[in-house]
Amino acid sequence: VSGRFDLSDRVAAVVGTSWNIGTGIALGLAGAGAAVACLDRDAVMAESAAREISGQGGRAIGVQCDSTTEGDVGAALSAVANQLGTVDILVNGAAHYNQKGILDTSVAEWRSQIGVILDSAFIVTQDVAHRLVEAGRPGSIITLISTAGFQGEVGNVAYCTAKSALLNFTRAVAMDLAPYGIRANSLSPTATNPREGLERAARWGLTVSGEGAIASVDQAATILPLGRAPSPRHYGDAAVFLASDAAEMITGEELRVDAGAIAKYWRDGLR
Ligand SMILES: NC(=O)c1ccc[n+]([C@@H]2O[C@H](COP(=O)([O-])OP(=O)(O)OC[C@H]3O[C@@H](n4cnc5c(N)ncnc54)[C@H](O)[C@@H]3O)[C@@H](O)[C@H]2O)c1
């Protein structure tokens, strides 16, 4: 990666680095030259992601951190600052799935799912922004949404609601931070080709059953305009763009990496 896409003088923090999408994005940023801090509540994910990046020649550290807890986030970002430097690029990706609809989601489940998705984005963005403003540095904040933030998905009420809220969180944050040269954008994955993530999970020594996921995404992908579902590395490429100087005039924007899914007229799904 060269020229305006080069991130070699930047420090990135990716929150939520499972073997699936977060690490795909972390690898993309590292491939463009950024030093990457992999933050996850699960130490195995944080450490394995960092090891994967180092194994491919990048610079990375893993930091265990509950991104919904201010104290944890502050300590993690201070550790990153000491080891790599001030975070210039943040990727907000902490989420958890529940797959329940309005008729069967308990209030406790609603609060916990909304809490992880929204509190994490708010708390980490605020801490990273304070540090950048204090240091007088520009920056790029990227929040992962989902095509489920644009459409009502059956049996996914809390997730759809929280992800949709992050669209306007991004715009509001973009307005607050524009005077400081800090950009805030969102990036939306969609139902993802599981192969890349499953291969990574196997390399990490994790047992994840993926047969059903492969069959189901392959079948759904037949109605995608581009004919195949994106892989985590495609989100990584888009994140590199949003993080880089090539996107210096882009803030408050949403970038869907969905093979054309949301642009499609619903009735054409039958063709
Ligand atoms: N997988 C998909 O098809 C898909 C589609 C659209 C959007 N997305 C979004 O992309 C992002 C990554 O998706 P994924 O499928 O790789 O998710 P995942 O569930 O595999 O990984 C999420 C990671 O976040 C971590 N996490 C959860 N709560 C946390 C907390 N409080 N503090 C720190 N870490 C926490 C988990 O430990 C996990 O490693 C998510 O924001 C998700 O909503 C995924």
**What percentage of the chain's residues is helix, strand, coil (to nearest 5)?**
50, 15, 35
Does ligand 1 come within 6 angstroms of the Cβ of 22? yes
Q: What separation in Å is there between the alpha carbon of 103 and the centre of ligand 1?
A: 24
Does ligand 1 come within 6 angstroms of the Cβ of 72? no
pTM attached to this predicted model: 0.98
Q: What separation in Å is there between the alpha carbon of 93 and the centre of ligand 1?
A: 6
Task: Please tell me the predicted confidence (pLDDT) of residue 2.
Answer: 79
Q: What separation in Å is there between the alpha carbon of 22 and the centre of ligand 1?
A: 7
Q: What separation in Å is there between the alpha carbon of 64 and the centre of ligand 1?
A: 15
Query: What stretches in the chain show pLDDT beneath 50?
Result: none
Query: Which atom, in ligand 1's list, is nearest to the CA of 232?
Result: 16
Task: Please tell me the predicted confidence (pLDDT) of residue 1.
Answer: 81
Does ligand 1 come within 6 angstroms of the Cβ of 92? no
Which residues are bridge partners to 62 per DSSP?
Answer: 38
Alpha helices in the chain (DSSP H): 21-31, 43-55, 70-83, 107-114, 120-135, 157-177, 195-203, 211-220, 232-243
Task: Please tell me the predicted confidence (pLDDT) of residue 271.
Answer: 65
Does ligand 1 come within 6 angstroms of the Cβ of 194? no
Q: Which residue has the tokens 């489920």?
A: 148
The proportion of the chain whose per-residue pLDDT surpasses 90, expressed as a percent, equals 97
- What are the Cα distances from residue 186, in Å, to 82, 131, 148, 149, 214? 28, 21, 14, 11, 26
